[in-house]
Amino acid sequence: MAPILEVKGVDAGYGKLQILFNVSMEVESKDIFVIVGPNGSGKSTLLKTIFGLTRIYKGSIRFNGEEITGKPPHDIAKTGIAYLPQTDNVFAQLTVAENLKMAAYTLPSDLAEERISEVLERFPLLKARLKDKAMTLSGGQRQILAMAMSLIRKPKLMLFDEPTAALAPKLAAEILDEIIKLRDELGITIILVEQNAKKALQMGDKALLLVGGRVMYRGGAKELLEHPELGALYLGLKK
Amino acid sequence: MVLNVQLFLDTMAYASVLGLLSMSLTLTYIVSRVPNFAHATFAAIGSYMVLIVVWLLGIYKTGPSWGVYYASLPLSFIVVGAVALLQYLIVLRPLAKKGISIDGLMIATLGIDIILVGLLNISADFLEDIFQQSPDKDLRKLVTYPRSGYLSSYEPTIMGVTASSILGPLLLVVSTVGFYLFLTKTKFGTAMRAAIENPQLAETLGINVNLVYSVSWFIAGGLAGMAGVIMVMTTKLNPTMGWLLIVSVFAGSIVGGLGSLFWGAVGGLLVGFLEQFGVYYTQIILGALTGETVSLGNYRQVFSLGAIVVMLLVAPQGLASLNWGKILSRLGLRR
Amino acid sequence: MPIELDIGTLAQSLAYFIAAYTIVTLSLNLEAGFTGIPNFGKHLFVAAGAFVVASLGNRLSAYIVSVLYKDEILKLIQEDPLLSKRITEADIGSLWSMYADPLGNRDLDRIMDKFFAQHPELGILLFILILILAVAIGGLLGLLISYPALRLRGEYLAILLLAAAEMVVMAIGYYWKPLVGGTTGLFLPRYLAVFGQKVILGVTVLLILAAVAMYLYAQRIANSPAGRMMRAVRDDELAAASLGKDIAKVRRDVIIISSAMAALAGALIAVHTGSVVSTHYQRFSWTFIPWAMMIVGGVANNSGVVVGVAIIMVLQKFVDIVKPMLAPVVPFDPVWLYQIGLGLVIILMLYMRPQGIIPEKPSRTVNFEEIFEDVLEDKVEDEQAKKMIREGRATP
Ligand SMILES: Nc1ncnc2c1ncn2[C@@H]1O[C@H](COP(=O)(O)OP(=O)(O)OP(=O)(O)O)[C@@H](O)[C@H]1O
Ligand SMILES: [Mg+2]
């Protein structure tokens, strides 16, 4: 089967500042694909590049066989990719209800309402907070809201950038469980950037190790976890 | 006399003009994060629309008429809205996209101000020519108007009260309430708040951020233009009439905190009253002290400058940032 | 229409404008270019210099002269058939107060002109005194402004400075006649009677000398440790925190020096023109144009500033020359086209070449090690301690 996402020899960065060098990767449908690497190695940049938020100098990105290189983010969103940024992934000044409404912005209003009630069924805790401003939510609730917002458009591929950053371990585990459920129950392909490499690699199918904007490892997630050197060298994993 | 009704009415017109201008200036600041030094000249363009209406509709012959407002309010809304939109689309957006620093963007708005004043001056020269060479005796009388016209003689009165004293506050209330409803009750208004708070996220959700910002600039310009229509009833028409006024407008926005439209409107109103009544009472006090009549109307901006300094040093986030609940209970107005 | 071109006059006027704008734009560049202080009220400081000369300087010199040379002044008045009718012996003590109205201004200048013609050395002395006064008050104004300047974010400071400048120039300057005679202005006596008929040329030469001196001074500041520190802080907010106190002091000094420079230019302009009218000190002439010159020439580059000044001044002179040709063709005053053109130039420049014609030299910018060394050299006496700090074993 052809991969759902294919990144080929991509050089990308911000303005004239190149961050990614000749990055390639293939993501199979319904996989959890994990991207790990030290701080500042370009993990977020890689996600942003897939979503059209950086400048691509070279290479190509194909999604579902369709060329999406150089498309603006709102067009890429329409192809079925959702991106959850590392920070500021909800509108803090808007209420939960308004946030969901904005997530359904491009849908016709009856469909929008249907989808909103669907995700509220999935995440009942949001139902109780509909009238509250998003800034009053806790960190974990905010991640849930961000997830709910992306689900409204029924994406086929979701890009998560450190969804558990700054969360207590128990909450973090809950969020990661939700992500696994998204794959298992809804069949959504996941690309996950995680600070906690061990947890992520345990739940992942395939993995990519990025160091200094270059690919150092590409292959099975468990294999990376058990790799004799790479884990210790770059990810702070004990041998 | 401690309270002066006519002064109060005049102040209502002037203060609502500042309310409208400070509110619309705040809108452009929230959207583009640059103080627009051309904003008061937007109002001046609106003021010129009144002269054009007075001329083209023949109001200079017939005398005071509601036509002044019927025609110039929508006209100035559209014309000045378009000017503001162009400023955003042609100048500020491309420069911001190139990563020009805030200093660069500010000097660009000063440049736009110079350009607009230049265009107003050219228009004034044109109008002077047209009026002077007209066979119409009444029109020839308008020849001094483009550079120093008092257009208040063409505005109607309602039960002895000049229309601007009523229309000004009305316009301010309608636009504040209208804005509130628009921003909270409509999908596009909500999208506007979303795009202002986090443009990147809004973009990824399919909100056309550029459209939202363009609409904001257009509305802000339109409001400034309508403010200019009211304003010209309280002052003398001149191409550089915005240059000193900008002090008061910024004072209003800063008092409001440059972060909320509602507080921008309140800030402008307060500054208008502060200026007018500050001047009035200072005149009375100085007059009593010196035994002469003192006229300080030309120095009203002293109070605005004072408001800017005090506000920036004491509460740089403006009135919007104060804890009103606490203040009210301290004052014994609320338990 | 024939155009008369007097090359001598043209060159002289060009030199005058270039010199005056060089001083002002160099001072703006010290603040905005090197230090990141967006002074949008530059015209206030230029006006301050001119206003001090016209209001304080005029009165002070009239007072000094009428006290020290009472008899001579009295004689001058009595010799003049017109003046002797209006001024009596009893007025001598309060001659200075005649500057309050336009007629008195004329009368007094007549007396003073004659007096300075007889005592040119005294004219020079008073001229120097007034210049010092203008520079000192300019510096004080800078000190005053430095309080908000050290506390406010860039755009708030820009708003405050622009508002203050408009207030002083367009409200007080225009309407409060005792200051500089409102929109009719005040005339100055001919302090520099030494130059005889060539006063304008003389003052122009003085301005050129001042501009050269200011250029050398600005270069020295830019290349000093303080200058390096300023640029580093402008470019990196984090560095500001670590260098805290020194930065505040250097920033304040920059504002004071720049304000004094602008006031010096304003004072010399006043003496050159022989009068002060507040309408000449508007935002367009003394804030917008200096910014335009800086951006065109090169931000944070003194030589760039000079180039920018020259380009825009030549452009202005060119417009002055073609204006009479254009006037019959276009149905409006061509000067507006110049203003509109300048506005466009600024915007296009920002778009196409924001670093200016001569960009800032990269080799001389941020080098934290160098700055660190400068601070260390400055603050720590003990060699041993220096070594420890360098090796990271102790904090300064
Ligand atoms: N918007 C930007 N403009 C310019 N450079 C950027 C931008 N965002 C990130 N960078 C730079 O790109 C490099 C990679 O950053 P990136 O955020 O992709 O790393 P990361 O692997 O996600 O790190 P972290 O684990 O800290 O999230 C860094 O050097 C960073 O400074
Ligand atoms: Mg990251």
- Backbone angle region of A29, left / alpha / beta, with phi > 0 → left and psi within -120 to 50 → alpha: beta
Q: Which residues' Cβ are closer than 6 Å to ligand 1?
A: A 14, 17, 19, 37, 39-45
Q: Which atom of ligand 1 is nearest to the CA of A39?
A: 25
Question: What is the reported pLDDT for B84?
Answer: 98
For residue range A152-199, what is the model confidence (pLDDT) as tens digits?
A: 989 999 999 999 888 888 888 989 999 999 999 999 999 999 888 888
Q: Is residue C361 part of a domain?
A: no
Q: Contact C236/C247 with Cβ under 8 angstroms? A: no
Q: Which of these, B246, B72, B240, lies nearest to B164 by C-alpha position?
A: B72
Please report the pLDDT score of residue C259 as a whole number. Answer: 97
pLDDT along chain B (335 residues), means of 10: 75 96 97 96 98 94 90 97 98 93 94 97 95 92 92 89 93 96 94 94 88 96 97 94 95 94 96 94 91 87 94 88 78 65
Q: Does A14 touch chain B (CB under 8 A)?
A: no
C386 and C339 in a single domain? The answer is: no
- Distance between CA B155 and CA B334 in Å, rounded? 43
Q: What is the pLDDT of residue C370?
A: 57
Within-domain flag for C357: no
DSSP A135-148: GGS-HHHHHHHHHH
* Same-domain status, C166 and C286: yes
Whole-prediction pTM: 0.88
pLDDT at residue number C364:
43
C232 shares a domain with C134? yes
Residue A95 CA to chain centroid, in angstroms?
23
Centre of ligand 1 from the C-alpha of residue A69, in Å: 20
The answer to whether residues C386 and C303 belong to one domain is no
CB pair distance less than 8 Å for A105 and B193: no
State the helix-helix crossing angle for C154-166 and C42-51, rounded to 10 degrees. 30
Cα separation, C352 vs C334, in Å, equals 26
Q: How far is B65 from chain C (nearest CA, A)?
A: 31
- Check: CB of residue B57 under 8 Å from CB of residue B71: yes
Q: Where are the domains of chain A?
A: 90-154
What DSSP string runs through A74-109? Answer: HHHHHTTEEEE-SS--S-TTSBHHHHHHHHTTTS-H
Collapsing DSSP to helix, strand or coil, B157 comes out as: strand
Q: A114-147 pLDDT, tens per residue?
A: 999 999 999 999 999 999 999 999 988 999 999 9
What lies within 8 Å, CB to CB, of B301 at 6+ separation is B244, B247, B248, B275, C163, C166, C167, C171
Co-location of C253 and C145 in the same domain: yes
* Residues C161 and C275 reside in one and the same domain: yes
| C297 and C391 part of one domain | no
Q: How close is the nearest chain C Cα to the Cα of B157, in Å?
A: 31
* C396 shares a domain with C272: no
Residue with tokens 């004990």: A238
Say if the Cβ atoms of B104 and C163 lie within 8 Å.
Answer: no
From A10, A39, A45, A87, mutation site for ligand 1 pocket: most ligand atoms within 8 A of C-beta:
A45
Q: C28 to each of A18, B243, C37, C127, how far by Cα in Å?
A: 35, 21, 9, 25
Using CB atoms, which residue from C160, C171, C343 is nearest to B244?
A: C171
Q: Are residue C239 and residue C135 in the same domain, yes or no?
A: yes
Does residue C301 sit in the same domain as residue C389? no
CA distance B66 to B156: 6
Position A15 pLDDT exceeds 70: yes
Residues of chain C with pLDDT under 50: 1-2, 363-366, 392-396
Residue C106 CB coordination number (10 Å): 13
Q: Are residues C126 and C189 in the same domain?
A: yes
Using DSSP's 3-state secondary structure scheme, residue C6 falls into coil
Other beta carbons less than 10 A from residue A21's beta carbon: 17
Domain residues for the domain of C372 are 366-396
> What would the pLDDT profile of C222-234 be if each residue is shown by its tens digit?
888 888 878 877 8
Q: How many structural domains does chain C have?
A: 2
Write down the residue that tokens 């778009």 correspond to.
C351
Could you give the percent of chain A with pLDDT greater than 70?
98
Residue A27's pLDDT band (cuts 50, 70, 90): very high
Is residue C360 situated within a structural domain? no
Residues 6+ apart with CB under 8 A from B281: none
- DSSP sequence for C160-198: HHHHHHHIIIIIIIHH-HHHH-TTT-EE---TTGGGGGG
Average pLDDT, chain A: 91
Q: Are B256 and B264 in contact (CB under 8 A)?
A: yes
Are C188 and C234 in the same domain? yes
Contact C288 B313 (CB under 8 A): no
Q: Which atom of ligand 1 is nearest to the CA of A41?
A: 21
Q: What integer pLDDT is reported at residue C393 of this predicted model?
A: 45
CB contact under 8 A, B205 and A83: no
Instruction: Determine if residue A35 is left, alpha or beta; phi over 0 gives left, psi from -120 to 50 gives alpha, anything else beta.
Output: beta
Q: Chain B partners of A85 at a C-beta cutoff of 8 Å? A: 200-201
The pair of structure tokens assigned to A29 is: 């449908």
* CA-CA-CA-CA torsion sign (A199, A202, A207, A212): positive
